[in-house]
Amino acid sequence: MLAIAWIRDNRALLERTARDKGLGVSIIGDVLEADETRRRLIADAERLRKRRNELARETGEHKRRGETESAAALTEEAKELGVRLDEVAQEEARAARRFEELMLLVPNPVSADTPIGASDADNVEVRRVGVPRDFAFAPRDHVELGELHGMIDIPRAVRMAGARSYVLKGAGTRLHRAVQQLAMDLLEERGYTLLEVPILMREEAMTAAGFFPAGRDQTYAVEENTWLAGTGEVPLISYYRDEVLDLAEPARLAAATPCFRKEVGSAGRDTRGLYRVHQFAKVEQVVLCRRDPELADRLLAELVANAEQLLRLLELPYRVMAVCTGDQAAKTHKQFDLETWMPSRGAYGETHSASNVLDFQARRANLRYRDTDGRLQYAYTLNNTMVATPRILIPLLENHQQTDGSIAIPAALRPYLHGEKLLTPPQAEEEQEA
């Protein structure tokens, strides 16, 4: 959410932002029109209240002078004015609701260095780390590897829960947990406060984080005013909601949570395997800081660097992408995605997303701090995926597979896997024993 005064002064910029993000340009005109209507009705109501007070005073004066006839006329006028005031108050309430609904649709302006584009095809590569492996054999995809090792079971999951479901078992479960714990340990070493948070969120929390109203169709409703969060960003943003914080140093938070998304609009895309599923797990980073654009840029780089360090420890080739306007959410000011090489796709696939949203979320969540002059200011908020699994298992299994289907374990993961260096398919183990 943006300040309405700022919206009034920057209409052209916001209309360009709405167009570049693929939103309706009319949103800006609509919100300004609603604001004008709301302010006019507020002024009308204030004028009527003022006149009502004057009538009360005049009526009292007439009564004191014994002028009952004129006092009665003034009383009648006051009654008629009261009826009109009630009507205006109702119109004002409707206008306020309309204004608030439209304000939630106004997009955050993008940074000056954000690429202009219509979709992820227009994202710009910033850097590439590692070289995709040149296999000397026909590599298996992660589903084949998972079935070979007995670590992924999709048919039974689909029978239980429908499409885009999976079961991890044995080594698959251990890998799933191991990458999460490695991510959490790295963040704790870097001074992040680790939280265990709820994922059943009230609508206010979903709105505060900027996922409502636009993302409502992606979210599972549990009951009235209760939703399953699609990311730990939602509870982390609302953790300090309505509080005044000490942000002399940025507040660094992290949480590992299950996540749920409907994947509406993704029909027919990435239906095989673990890439696009309804239930997954994420380790999320969220940072709150002072209103300092240079500081926010440094913190965004820090968030990206944390995720890059994890990918290097997992020994995976990846690239960093500057996300274009058309691939950004309405809330985003600046965004980088990390894409990891997935042999089965013959391409890089998104595994991380880092965003600076300025004070867009803080205004909704009422997250404030006092500046050096003691004035209350809205904070800046930033977020990034430290790891999302099981999606990360796709490159982890595929890039580290061996000719016989065994899977090499990166050194950084071995302490979380009882020191295992190699996962060997059960059939190969039986043949070795024989």
Active site (catalytic) residues = 261, 276, 350, 353, 391
- Eight-state DSSP code of residue 255: E
Q: Long-range CB contacts (< 8 A, 24+ apart) of 266-273?
A: 271/163, 271/164, 272/141, 272/143, 273/141, 273/142, 273/143, 273/152, 273/154, 273/166, 273/344, 273/394
Helix, strand, coil % over all residues of the chain, rounded to 5? 45, 20, 35
Contact yes or no for 34/102 (Cβ under 8 A): yes
Torsions phi, psi of 355, nearest 5?
-135, 145
Q: How far apart are CA 334 and CA 287, in angstroms?
A: 15
Contact yes or no for 215/340 (Cβ under 8 A): no
Instruction: Name the 3-class secondary structure at 41.
Output: helix
Contact yes or no for 257/284 (Cβ under 8 A): yes
CA angle, corner 276, sides to 275 and 280, nearest 5?
90
- Eight-state DSSP code of residue 382: E
Which residue matches tokens 């206010």?
204
Q: How far apart are CA 418 and CA 408, in angstroms?
A: 14
- Sign of the torsion formed by the C-alpha atoms of 87, 5, 7 and 219: negative
